[in-house]
Amino acid sequence: MPALVKKFVRRVLDRGVKFLNDPVKAYEPHERTNLVKLKARLKLCDVVLVSGSARVSYVVRLLTTSPWSHVVLYVGNRSSLLTDSEKTYWIEKYGAACLEHLLVDADMLFGVHLRPLDDYNGQMLRQLRPLALRNDDRNKVIDYALKELGKKYDILHIIRLLFFFTFPWELLPANVRSYFTDWTMSETDQICSRILAEAFHSVGYPVRPISVIEKSKLRSVVPLAQGFNFRARGKSVMKLLSGGRFSAAAKRFSPPRYARIALSNPRHIVPADYDLSRFFDIIKDPSDLNIDYRGIVSREIRK
């Protein structure tokens, strides 16, 4: 491709990226998450869903029929992985304390990068936690995501999103929109939900599996599973019993609940899938759940 054509294409893409990342002026989040309280609740490897205000966020919400347009992974203080210019930029914008709460993020402006939670101030967020994930696997998931840092967004993905924004896709049936959602992603796309899905799948942790087979559906393998548990777990069970941890010993000895889980292709996973997954717990502010609604003056607003 001639240099002049490449320069023209790059200029068009740069303008397209800027257009897609500009906020939609008419958009208002249903609520604004309290970041101070969220920071106090977050643990390593928590997933944070974002309902963004940019045009590209509008496209994602429309195609996935979900309020969530973006997903990021909480990795805590990883400021040592930031460049000097990145540290200076974020510190000047939010203060040095922002570097203690970093997220693995992927967007078309910066590619895969570390971003402070403070940059999502004023937006609606949801905290999710993979409760069944073991500590050693938690570190592996984070390490996998951190290895993606520096990778770029797929150019074809940007062009397709530009095309989607110019067409009234809300007029099409949901199954048709789903087909075109698949079409927006190539095999090399580095987008937020795909990076996180690959990180969790790298240790076998499911997000939204295609199928789940439980032991209750395979009665014939239960005796075999119990025999395997006695051989493989007997030693640890005895340690738990000797320590008086009877309920933990019973749980350790019992056969696994799941027999087989077929993981989905990471390129088909969208931010909403983390919200709908049975393997991720939604973590909410305890003070909101203890609301004294009888002492509040409330009224219903009809539009």
The set of residues, in sequence order, having a beta carbon less than 8 Å from that of 52 and lying 6+ positions away, is 60, 69, 70, 123
Asked if 137 and 234 sit in the same domain, the reply is no
Is residue 205 within 8 Å of 279, Cβ to Cβ? yes
Q: Looking at the domain assignment, is residue 133 inside a domain?
A: yes
Question: Reduced to 3 states, what is the DSSP secondary structure of residue 31?
Answer: coil
Q: Looking at the domain assignment, is residue 202 inside a domain?
A: yes
pLDDT confidence band for 270 (50 / 70 / 90): confident
Computed on alpha carbons and rounded to an integer, the radius of gyration of the chain in Å comes to 23
Asked if 15 and 122 sit in the same domain, the reply is yes
Q: Looking at the domain assignment, is residue 33 inside a domain?
A: yes
pTM of the model: 0.71
Which pLDDT score is estimated for 40?
95
Which pLDDT score is estimated for 129?
96
* Crossing angle of helices 3-21 and 155-165, rounded to 10°: 50
Which pLDDT score is estimated for 59?
67
Is residue 101 within 8 Å of 78, Cβ to Cβ? no
Comparing C-alpha atoms, which of 274, 281, 143 is closest to residue 209?
274
Which pLDDT score is estimated for 220?
44
For the beta carbon of residue 275, count every other beta carbon within 10 angstroms. 18
User: Distances in Å between the alpha carbon of 155 and those of 47, 148, 179, 187, 191?
Assistant: 26, 17, 20, 12, 11
Q: Which residues of 144-169 are buried (b: 16+ CB within 10 A; e: fewer)?
A: bbbebbeeebbbebbebbbebbeeee
Tokens of 200: 């969790």
Asked if 124 and 9 sit in the same domain, the reply is yes
Q: Looking at the domain assignment, is residue 141 inside a domain?
A: yes
Asked if 196 and 78 sit in the same domain, the reply is yes
Q: Looking at the domain assignment, is residue 224 inside a domain?
A: yes
Q: What is the pLDDT of residues 214-251, one digit of tens each?
A: 765 444 444 444 444 444 455 566 666 677 777 766 66
pLDDT, mean over the chain:
76
Asked if 9 and 126 sit in the same domain, the reply is yes
Which pLDDT score is estimated for 115?
93
Q: Looking at the domain assignment, is residue 157 inside a domain?
A: yes
User: Distances in Å between the alpha carbon of 222 and those of 86, 192, 215, 216, 251?
Assistant: 54, 39, 7, 9, 15
Q: Looking at the domain assignment, is residue 284 inside a domain?
A: no
Which pLDDT score is estimated for 232?
44
In the listed set 190, 207, 224, which residue is the last one of a domain according to the structure? 207
List the CATH number of the domain containing 92: 3.90.1720
Q: What is the pLDDT of residues 3-44, one digit of tens each?
A: 766 666 666 666 666 666 666 666 666 788 999 999 999 999
Number of domains in the chain: 2
Enclosing domain of residue 39? 3-207
